[in-house]
Structure 1
Amino acid sequence: MAWIVIVSVLIMTVLSLLKVNVIIAIIVAALSAALLSGLSITDSLEMFVNGMGGQAETALSYILLGAFAVAISYTGITTLLVQYLIRVLTGKKTMMLLAIAGVASLSQNLVPVHIAFIPILIPPLLKLFDQMKMDRRAVATALTFGLKAPYIMIPAGFGLMFHETIQEGMKSSGIDITTNQIALSLLIPGAGMVIGLFIAIFVTYRKDRTVESTNREVKAFVQPEKLTFNRSHLLTLIAILGALAVQLWIGSLIIGALTGLVIMFLFFVVPFHKGDRVISEGVAMMGTIAFVMLVAAGFGHIIQEIGAVDDLVKVSSGVLGDNKMLIAFVLLLVGLVITMGIGSSFGTIPILAALYVPICLAASFSPMATAALIGTAGALGDAGSPASDSTLGPTSGLNADGKHNHIWDTCVPTFIHFNIPLFIFGWIAALVL
């Protein structure tokens, strides 16, 4: 069964590289895995649909965060940010890219809207990018860095969810560890991502790049009217802080997003009669990505239920003996394959923790080294996966004018610049901790 995981992921990857719609590619890969295991087409579809519920909470979170982001943009506070970036950073490509990476980083911890800010912030800047001859692959890399590195290294917002998921997975398999220890163990892999970002900005995509024009018009390209900071913007910031506080207190992105929306309606920052429009636009913005996550959950459910993941890890560990260097290398490689297929670090962690902990205990890895392996393996493949929100999000903004290809301009650059250093630094962390 172990070979089925590899074959199905290769099918999904090849179809995506051939520009087949990512949803179709995942469905074909999932059904291929089920059929290769001996299931009938009817049973395969039933198992696939049943598995889609595994990411229902995540999908709902994205929809509500999308609505929250739309409500925030309604006040014009994002326009203020765009105006500031245009005024201060026009002609300064390096500073613009670093600023974008910084803004994206805030979306994981301080203002946990995740990818929902991208379709609002990025399209108004596309015309400026073209005028500056900025390589959009560098922008995609900066955005993906901000969507991944903070939750890997910082235990707040999405990072807290990520670290707690690792903690719970390890505890259920026999290892007690604190979230602070997990955060420390993931600083080394996170440092690899910082290096990857600098290589992308200062080396790989430093040169000017001109993209071909299209006939596709984007309303967001219109230069926004100049605004000044006002009462609505202040109340919006209060709503953002309220959403963050509730999310950290209760530990639910859904409740946090709802809190932010309720505050904005109660303060009349967004009129009540605009409620339907806010929700509809939030669904339109994040609906496709949420559905991709549901489909990816169905794929993950299939390869887990048919025993393919278990067999892949068992086969890998069975031939390694007690060689820590080799064991760590293979476990990270397995994590890369699995996460590339599922497209979700958060959805992969429980699977990896259950499988890795017994192997790490037998090989005498420390708890922090085990956490580094699980966290890195879960993060591997998130960047570069056609099904990942860390790549779908940047593409949703950068392709607003039809000039940005999801696979070649987002997935391939982020895979090269983040998965390779993540792998190397995660490997080092597993051996030195």
Structure 2
Amino acid sequence: MNAVVAAVGIMLVLSLCRVHVVVALIAGAITGGMLGGLGLDGSLSAFNKGLGGGATVALSYALLGAFAVAIGKSGLANALADRALALVGSQDSKSAGPIKWLMVLLLLAVAISSQNILPIHIAFIPLLVPPLLFVLSKLEIDRRLIACVLAFGLVTPYMFLPVGFGSIFLKEILLANVSQNGADVTNINVSQAMLIPALGMCAGLLIALFSYRKPRNYDLRKIERDEPRGARYSPLTLLVAAIAVAAAFVVQLWLDSMILGALVGFVIFSVSGVVRWREADDLFTEGMKMMAMIGFIMIAAAGFAEVMRATGEVKALVDASTAWIGNSKAIGALVMLVVGLLVTIGIGSSFSTVPIIAAIFVPLGLELGFSPLAIVCLVGTAGALGDAGSPASDSTLGPTAGLNADGQHNHIWDTVVPTFLHYNLPLLGFGWVAALIL
């Protein structure tokens, strides 16, 4: 059996059996490495080598977590939650529907904005979502719907809009790697190439809105215990929060560093007095703890990815698939997308997947007669497939971090499985059609 398929399969099965994702990633990586001929020592060496690749992302998330806690200290999220609760309290049961969909649209808009307008990615989720859990539960909104809404906002913008994280993914990673591997991307409109796959994501969102439309009950007592209401805030603290967010945004754009942006925002809170100096250390630690689990999973995923690279089995997986392709563009496109899905689910990052698969898919696509636009679409879609739906992806870890604040939302069954079904299947179908008609 191919080592990549075995490693991903073991990781997914263990995750579905509720084994912790970090343990599942390590077990999958070691098994895949041994099947790929690395042996135990070689597998461990490759895994340890890859750990450093996730350190920068983990540190960024830790600092963004500290920044998020400082924003929470300002009362910004609680002010929003109190306003929403007041709206809910003033409505009768018949008129609660519009408020429900207003909350869904609000979270969708914030998630989309986190990729471009204020590129802090998932750091807004543990800040904004926990204070809203009481409101969401009063409205009996299914949290699986919110997980799908957040995942849509975290993935679709970067795979279609060439701004913020989208500029990095589409221009610096996707187009650059396709060009480096032999395809002429001159005058290619990358948004045009990814339009139909992005419509697949939209279709998945619409299906999720239908699938999880029914009310779902949660224990309000747990929410009140874990997320006490009534955080203090004032116009001054809200103003400081707005200034800190704006400053973090400017620094991120200016210096292209999420780490420095989050640090500047945290310093503004400290200097302003919203975060007292004697509390700064504890709040910083609290924020890092809040995002630590995501960071550790991202680090483990980087180690997993390095083991898969070291085995050389990704190329073997594609080579083995060519026997099924023949000269059929339809079969070739489908096989490439499925392979991309498998690789991305294991690695947990579309940004890391594209460089791996582009070296193989671009020559194969040229040989099958795909246009450069179709090849860009194929590689981009294959990379994005699995981002929503991977146990190790920040697009699933982020929503769980916010929705499970009171222990009533399971990462695998309430985030991973719903996002996999509602996004990867439509994305697979729409991406396949796009590759054939572009």
Work out whether the TM-score is over 0.5: yes
Higher mean alpha-carbon deviation, 191-200 vs 165-174, is at 165-174
State yes or no: 1:358 paired with 2:363. Answer: yes
Instruction: Tell me how far apart the structure 1 counterparts of residues 357 and 112 of structure 2 sit (CA, whole Å).
Output: 25
Aligned counterpart, 2:201: 193
Instruction: Tell me how far apart the structure 2 counterparts of residues 249 and 296 of structure 1 sit (CA, whole Å).
Output: 29
Q: Which runs of 5+ in 2 are unaligned?
A: 90-95
Whether the 8 Å contact between 1:5 and 1:33 is mirrored in structure 2 is: yes
State yes or no: 1:97 paired with 2:96. Answer: no
Describe the shift of the 1:128–1:238 C-alpha distance in structure 2 as closer, same or farther (beyond 3 A). Answer: closer
Shift of 1:414: 0.6
Q: Which runs of 5+ in 1 are unaligned?
A: none
Aligned counterpart, 1:77: 76
Describe the shift of the 1:65–1:320 C-alpha distance in structure 2 as closer, same or farther (beyond 3 A). Answer: same
C-alpha distance after superposition, 1:143-198 (max 9, x if no partner): 11111112112222222221221122223223353798223322221121112112
Instruction: Tell me how far apart the structure 1 counterparts of residues 24 and 9 of structure 2 sit (CA, whole Å).
Output: 10
State yes or no: 1:118 paired with 2:125. Answer: yes
Aligned counterpart, 1:29: 28
Higher mean alpha-carbon deviation, 111-120 vs 123-132, is at 123-132
Identical amino acids, percent of aligned pairs:
47
One-letter identity of the residue aligned with 1:345: S
Q: What does residue range 349-388 of structure 1 map to in structure 2 within 5 Å?
A: 349-388=354-393
State yes or no: 1:221 paired with 2:227. Answer: yes
Whether the 8 Å contact between 1:373 and 1:426 is mirrored in structure 2 is: yes
Describe the shift of the 1:374–1:249 C-alpha distance in structure 2 as closer, same or farther (beyond 3 A). Answer: farther
One-letter identity of the residue aligned with 2:330: M
Whether the 8 Å contact between 1:47 and 1:298 is mirrored in structure 2 is: yes
Shift of 1:318: 4.4
Instruction: Tell me how far apart the structure 1 counterparts of residues 31 and 118 of structure 2 sit (CA, whole Å).
Output: 39
State yes or no: 1:5 paired with 2:12. Answer: no
Describe the shift of the 1:269–1:342 C-alpha distance in structure 2 as closer, same or farther (beyond 3 A). Answer: same
State yes or no: 1:66 paired with 2:71. Answer: no
Shift of 1:98: 2.2
Aligned counterpart, 1:261: 266
Aligned counterpart, 2:92: none
Shift of 1:269: 5.0
Aligned counterpart, 1:339: 344
Shift of 1:60: 1.7
State yes or no: 1:166 paired with 2:209. Answer: no
What is the root-mean-square deviation of aligned Cα atoms in Å?
2.3
Whether the 8 Å contact between 2:137 and 2:220 is mirrored in structure 1 is: no
Instruction: Tell me how far apart the structure 2 counterparts of residues 57 and 376 of structure 1 sit (CA, whole Å).
Output: 25
Describe the shift of the 1:262–1:375 C-alpha distance in structure 2 as closer, same or farther (beyond 3 A). Answer: farther
Q: What does residue range 302-321 of structure 1 map to in structure 2 within 5 Å?
A: 302-321=307-326
SS at match of 1:122: helix
Describe the shift of the 1:363–1:263 C-alpha distance in structure 2 as closer, same or farther (beyond 3 A). Answer: farther
Instruction: Tell me how far apart the structure 2 counterparts of residues 252 and 367 of structure 1 sit (CA, whole Å).
Output: 32
Shift of 1:28: 0.5
Instruction: Tell me how far apart the structure 1 counterparts of residues 154 and 413 of structure 2 sit (CA, whole Å).
Output: 19
Whether the 8 Å contact between 2:10 and 2:28 is mirrored in structure 1 is: yes
SS at match of 2:338: helix
SS at match of 2:189: helix
Q: What does residue range 225-304 of structure 1 map to in structure 2 within 5 Å?
A: 225=231, 227=233, 230-265=235-270, 270-304=275-309
C-alpha distance after superposition, 1:344-371 (max 9, x if no partner): 1112121122221111222232222222
Shift of 1:383: 0.9
Instruction: Tell me how far apart the structure 1 counterparts of residues 377 and 87 of structure 2 sit (CA, whole Å).
Output: 39
Describe the shift of the 1:254–1:166 C-alpha distance in structure 2 as closer, same or farther (beyond 3 A). Answer: farther
State yes or no: 1:129 paired with 2:136. Answer: yes
Instruction: Tell me how far apart the structure 1 counterparts of residues 206 and 173 of structure 2 sit (CA, whole Å).
Output: 29
Whether the 8 Å contact between 1:66 and 1:113 is mirrored in structure 2 is: no
Whether the 8 Å contact between 1:141 and 1:197 is mirrored in structure 2 is: yes
Whether the 8 Å contact between 1:170 and 1:357 is mirrored in structure 2 is: yes
Instruction: Tell me how far apart the structure 2 counterparts of residues 76 and 147 of structure 1 sit (CA, whole Å).
Output: 24
Describe the shift of the 1:138–1:321 C-alpha distance in structure 2 as closer, same or farther (beyond 3 A). Answer: same
Higher mean alpha-carbon deviation, 282-291 vs 114-123, is at 114-123
Describe the shift of the 1:207–1:370 C-alpha distance in structure 2 as closer, same or farther (beyond 3 A). Answer: same
Count of residue pairs brought into register by the alignment:
429
C-alpha distance after superposition, 1:224-256 (max 9, x if no partner): 35755x244334323323332333344333333
Shift of 1:130: 2.6
Instruction: Tell me how far apart the structure 1 counterparts of residues 372 and 410 of structure 2 sit (CA, whole Å).
Output: 41
SS at match of 1:403: coil
One-letter identity of the residue aligned with 1:19: R
Shift of 1:52: 1.3
Whether the 8 Å contact between 1:137 and 1:205 is mirrored in structure 2 is: yes
SS at match of 1:395: helix
One-letter identity of the residue aligned with 1:417: H
Instruction: Tell me how far apart the structure 2 counterparts of residues 342 and 176 of structure 1 sit (CA, whole Å).
Output: 28
Higher mean alpha-carbon deviation, 64-73 vs 327-336, is at 64-73
Whether the 8 Å contact between 1:142 and 1:197 is mirrored in structure 2 is: yes
Describe the shift of the 1:431–1:253 C-alpha distance in structure 2 as closer, same or farther (beyond 3 A). Answer: farther
Aligned counterpart, 2:403: 398
Describe the shift of the 1:85–1:286 C-alpha distance in structure 2 as closer, same or farther (beyond 3 A). Answer: same
Instruction: Tell me how far apart the structure 1 counterparts of residues 28 and 134 of structure 2 sit (CA, whole Å).
Output: 37
Aligned counterpart, 2:42: 43
Shift of 1:29: 0.5
